[in-house]
């Protein structure tokens, strides 16, 4: 497991799946804002790759986020679009509603950075989020991500076009502090 100061990132367990489905992917507004595509209902038992890890997909690493103290499931964290030539990847994060606004997101970004830069030896990490997603913007900026641009009206979200902000962080800019790996 990878450990930060508040959260751990571990493998996806079978028991996590129904909780994440109900808390994240059955939520039409959250899904529509976070997924970059239309919401569709997820059938119980589905092998949807957001829920069930596809081990043949070398470009994606999906974690369950858990509370360090007690191990309670908090959400999903993903390193996706891993490009081993350009040594870059994107971060994705979705916390269950009850876990938001408590500092877990900021810490989960720190742990994903540790995984990307230290474990995987990447050079660049990227976050894309809607321009009104203050919590995601702040979680990334707290970890040193800088705003690199705005993709105007890039996202169709429940009846309107919204701007998307692109943030990037390079390995040499990253200040490793809280996150580290333990067995
Ligand atoms: C986005 C998300 C991962 C952030 O994680 P979080 O644990 O809620 O964020 P944190 O508690 O670490 O807060 C980070 C910062 O944002 C601020 N913040 C948190 N929630 C906020 C809100 N609703 N509005 C404004 N600011 C907010 C916090 O005060 C904190 O600021 P600070 O560093 O200046 O103190 C989480 O809210 C989430 O999963 N949301 C739904 C899914 C989503 O939007 N995913 C991202 C898709 S790109």
Q: Where are the domains of the chain?
A: 2-181
Residue range 102-127: average pLDDT? 98
pLDDT tens, position by position, 44-62: 888 999 999 999 999 999 9
* pLDDT value for 175: 87
CA pair distance 112, 133, nearest whole angstrom? 19
Pocket test for ligand 1, best of 34, 133, 135, 141 (most atoms within 8 A of CB): 135
Which residues have CB under 8 Å from 11's CB, separation 6+?
53, 63, 64
Q: Calculate how far, in angstroms, residue 7's C-alpha sits from the geometric centre of ligand 1.
A: 15
- With a 6 A CB cut-off, is 5 part of the ligand 1 pocket? no
Which residue's CA is the nearest one to ligand 1's atom 3?
A: 105
Q: Residue 65 has what pLDDT?
A: 98
pLDDT given at position 181? 47
**Predicted local confidence at residue 7, as pLDDT:** 98
Q: Is 95 in the pocket of ligand 1 (CB under 6 A)?
A: yes
Q: What is the mean pLDDT of residues 82-94?
A: 98
Please choose from 73, 80, 101 the residue to mutate so as to test ligand 1's pocket, defined by most ligand atoms within 8 A of CB. 101
Q: Atom 6 in ligand 1: which residue has the minimum CA distance?
A: 105
What spacing in Å lies between the alpha carbon of 139 and ligand 1's midpoint?
Answer: 6
Specify the pLDDT at position 106.
Answer: 98
- pLDDT higher than 80, residue 119: yes
| Distance in Å, CA 176 to ligand 1 centroid | 21
pLDDT at position 33: 96
Give the per-residue pLDDT at 182. Answer: 47
User: 96 alpha carbon to ligand 1 midpoint, in Å?
Assistant: 12
Q: Is the pTM of this model over 0.75?
A: yes
The reported pLDDT for the residue numbered 110 is: 98
At 6, is the pLDDT very low, low, confident or very high (cuts 50, 70, 90)? very high
Average pLDDT value over all residues in the chain: 95
**Cβ 106 under 6 angstroms from ligand 1:** yes
Least confident range of 2-11, 30-39, 120-129: 30-39
pLDDT of 34 over the 90 cut:
yes
Arch. (CATH architecture) of 2-181: 3-Layer(aba) Sandwich (3.40)
């Amino acid at each position: 497991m990878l450990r930060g100061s508040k959260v751990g990132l571990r493998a996806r367990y079978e028991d996590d799946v129904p909780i994440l489905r109900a808390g994240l992917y059955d939520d039409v507004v959250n899904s529509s804002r976070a997924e970059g595509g239309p919401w569709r209902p997820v059938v119980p038992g589905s092998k949807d790759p957001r829920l069930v890890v596809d081990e043949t997909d070398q470009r994606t690493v999906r974690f369950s986020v858990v509370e360090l103290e007690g191990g309670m499931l908090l959400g999903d964290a993903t390193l996706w679009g891993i490009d081993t030539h350009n040594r870059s990847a994107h971060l994705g994060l979705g916390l269950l509603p009850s876990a938001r606004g408590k500092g877990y997101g900021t810490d989960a970004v720190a742990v994903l950075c540790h995984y990307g830069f230290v474990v995987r030896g990447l050079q660049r990490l990227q976050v894309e989020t809607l321009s009104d997603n203050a919590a995601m913007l702040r979680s990334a900026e707290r970890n040193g991500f800088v705003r690199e641009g705005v993709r105007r009206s890039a996202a169709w979200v429940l009846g309107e076009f919204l701007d998307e902000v692109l943030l990037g962080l390079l390995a040499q800019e990253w200040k490793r502090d809280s996150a580290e790996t333990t067995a």
